[in-house]
Structure 1
Amino acid sequence: MRATVYHGPRDMRVENVPDPKIEQPTDAVLRVSLACICGSDLWPYRGVQKMPDGARMGHELMGIVEEVGSEVKTMKKGDLVISPFVISDGTCEFCQKGLQTSCIHGSVWGGTENDGGQGEAVRTPWADGTLVVLPAEVKNDEAMLKKILPLTDVMGTGYHAALAAGVRPGGTAAIVGDGAVGLCGILAAKLMGAQEIIMVGHQEKRLKVAEQFGATKLVRKTGEEAVKEVQEMTKGGAEAVLECVGTQDSLNQSLGMARPGSYVGFVGVPTGKEINMLRMFMANVALRGGVAPVRAYLPKLLKHILNGTIDPSPVLDMSINLDDVPEGYVAMDNRKAIKVMVNPQA
């Protein structure tokens, strides 16, 4: 089969690799029908995060079950399933607590140990704990599948940020970062009843999506100027701040925007080393969040998509086939695309 393989910074290649097969009785083999390029994939692409040569890429996918191991109980050949970005057994202490990202048997898609979503097929370890079977009626509904696909990562991650930040009905939320996660954070804040939703960003195309999703105010400034503007418009700081970038500057900016006694929900993969502890101390602002347990949120958010309450599909503003994945990375790196959807079977 063909799959996306990492060969160093800015060197993604689509190559022939071994076909996946059942190795454990808890495995399933999927033919990937849709996948994505994630903003976090750009860290190794840009050379910020180290990754070994030959690593497989892609951790957001849905597909058709082709084969299941003898112990798999919740799915069968022909089912359409969706996967969160982390593999989990579904039975350990942390999975039972809804923290599948800390599963004691868990792992991640891609790398050197597992198949990556940006390929024609994958072996799924712990299929019952990882995969969610989608309703049969959506199998050929392309528009609905595009709405569902962000549940693999960015919609669940935006929801985790809003939950960690303590967004409440009638409250005020500020979102730092106009990428796919931040935009989905707007949908999550709106779903939780926030009355005022402030998006902090500077890409006009993305800010239009932010308004479409429910942002009530836009802040186009950066750094201390952005902090000052949010502080002024909220008369003392936002009651909940969603940090959706991961840089040192964005995290400290988020802390500066937070109202005394509030929370910053951080879900951006951290790349900075220093945070403003004095601001946290003096304002009694707390950090909550981390890597999002998307598997825990997937069933609930799926219901909201199926009934039309939320639609995150506008973040998928570029569609490509598998051969064009390297160009998809370039488009996201250059901010010409918010998030790229990949059809490996096209």
Structure 2
Amino acid sequence: MQAAIYRGPGDIAIEDVPKPEVESPTDAVIRVTHTAVCGSDLWFYRGDNEPEPGSRVGHEPMGIVEAVGDDVTSVAPGDRVLAPFAISCGECEFCRKGLYTSCVEDESWSGDNGGAQGEYVKCPFADGTLVRVPDRYADDEDTLESLLPLTDVMGTGHHAAVSAGVSEGDTAVVIGDGAVGLCGVLAAQRLGAERIIAVGHHDDRLELAKEFGATETVTERGEDATERIEELTYGGANHVMECVGAASAMNTAIAAARPGGTVGYVGVPYGVDEEGLDVFSMFSDNIALRGGVAPVRDYAEELLSDVVQGTLDPSPIFTKTVDLDGVPEGYRAMDEREAIKVLVKP
């Protein structure tokens, strides 16, 4: 089979690799029909948090089950499934309370599991990880493209909204206009926020944020952005969603929070150790910080239900589509901000 391989900064290659096979009774092998390039993939593409050269990459697979181990009961060959970015056993202490990303098995899609930007993947804990797509939607391409973001960015944006405590009638501020931030706008709208202020730097993305439910947008940077948010919210918002990860974005989120408010953070931290966080402002204003890596498996069925009912559609975040051979071009396009998120159809 073929799969995307990391060769070094700025260098993704498509190469022949061994196809994964069922090895354990809890395994499933999936033929990937849809996957994506994630904003977090750009960290290693740019030379940060590098995997070993030769590593298979990708973590957002959807496809058809090809084979299962003897102990697998939730899916069968021929089923259409989507798979959250984190593999989970479904049975440990953390999985049982919905914190699937802290699963004690600590498995990922890379290595012998195949890397999700390829033709096949192996899921070593199929019953704890895979989410079955209802048969009536299994060949509906529009629905499938709307479901694919549930593997990561839609669940992550939802985690930001939930962590920030967004509910009916609230005002929410969303920091970041990437795929996660845009899905955060969708999530806040879904949870009933009355005002949603999207903060970003790209006009086309902020226009999409408006389509997703943002009532206002902020394009300023740094202190100017904080001042504008405070002006719009009369002193800050009770619910702020940080969807970038950079220290500057986190500090903007803290500054945008009203005393007693909550910051829901889901951006992969970057530069925080070097630049630091404005902890004193959090302390003095009693600002809560909640969130972290999103346990998207915990939200999957809830969000899937809305997608198939037609009340949730995050698919517009895909602004470029490539085949497997086009994955290197997909990375380049996202790195140069020519695409919000790249859909891959192997």
Q: TM-score, normalised by structure 2?
A: 0.98
Structure-to-structure mapping, 1:142-291, within 5 angstroms: 142-271=141-270, 272-273=272-273, 274-291=276-293
Deviations 1:106-134 (A, max 9, x none): 32222x35311100001111001000111
Give the letter aligned to residue 102 of structure 1.
S
Partner of 1:44: 44
Q: TM-score, normalised by structure 1?
A: 0.98
Give the letter aligned to residue 307 of structure 1.
Q
The answer to whether residue 36 in structure 2 is matched with residue 13 in structure 1 is no
CA distance in 1, matches of 2:162, 2:27: 32
Partner of 1:3: 3
The answer to whether residue 87 in structure 2 is matched with residue 87 in structure 1 is yes
| 3-state SS in 2 of match to 1:7 | strand
Give the letter aligned to residue 298 of structure 1.
A
CA distance in 1, matches of 2:250, 2:343: 28
Give the letter aligned to residue 180 of structure 2.
V
Partner of 2:31: 31
CA distance in 1, matches of 2:295, 2:176: 20
Deviations 1:307-329 (A, max 9, x none): 11111000011110000100000
Deviations 1:61-115 (A, max 9, x none): 10101100011011111000000000000111111100000011132222x3531
Structure 1 unmatched runs, 5+: none
Deviations 1:170-192 (A, max 9, x none): 11100000000000001110111
CA distance in 1, matches of 2:130, 2:139: 19
Report the CA distance between 1:49 and its aligned residue: 1.5
Partner of 1:313: 315
Spell out structure 1 runs of 4+ moving beyond 4 A: none
Contact 1:32 1:117 in 2 (8 A): yes
Contact 2:83 2:151 in 1 (8 A): yes
Partner of 1:334: 336
| 3-state SS in 1 of match to 2:160 | helix
Give the letter aligned to residue 155 of structure 1.
M
CA distance in 2, matches of 1:263, 1:172: 12
Give the letter aligned to residue 37 of structure 1.
V
Give the letter aligned to residue 101 of structure 2.
T
Report the CA distance between 1:238 and its aligned residue: 1.0
The answer to whether residue 141 in structure 2 is matched with residue 139 in structure 1 is no
Which of these residues, 270, 292, 301, is aligned with residue 303 of structure 2?
301
Contact 1:89 1:106 in 2 (8 A): no
CA distance in 1, matches of 2:86, 2:146: 20
Give the letter aligned to residue 25 of structure 1.
P
CA distance in 1, matches of 2:27, 2:290: 34
Partner of 1:72: 72
Contact 2:60 2:151 in 1 (8 A): yes
The answer to whether residue 55 in structure 2 is matched with residue 55 in structure 1 is yes
| 3-state SS in 1 of match to 2:40 | helix
Contact 1:167 1:192 in 2 (8 A): yes
Report the CA distance between 1:137 and its aligned residue: 1.2
CA distance in 2, matches of 1:157, 1:29: 25
The answer to whether residue 125 in structure 2 is matched with residue 123 in structure 1 is no
Aligned pair count reads: 343
CA distance in 2, matches of 1:287, 1:334: 31
Give the letter aligned to residue 188 of structure 1.
A
Report the CA distance between 1:208 and its aligned residue: 1.1
CA distance in 1, matches of 2:33, 2:232: 45
Contact 2:244 2:267 in 1 (8 A): yes
Contact 2:201 2:219 in 1 (8 A): yes
Partner of 2:96: 96
Give the letter aligned to residue 334 of structure 1.
E
Root-mean-square deviation over aligned CA pairs: 0.8
CA distance in 1, matches of 2:125, 2:342: 27
Contact 1:42 1:329 in 2 (8 A): yes
Report the CA distance between 1:50 and its aligned residue: 2.1
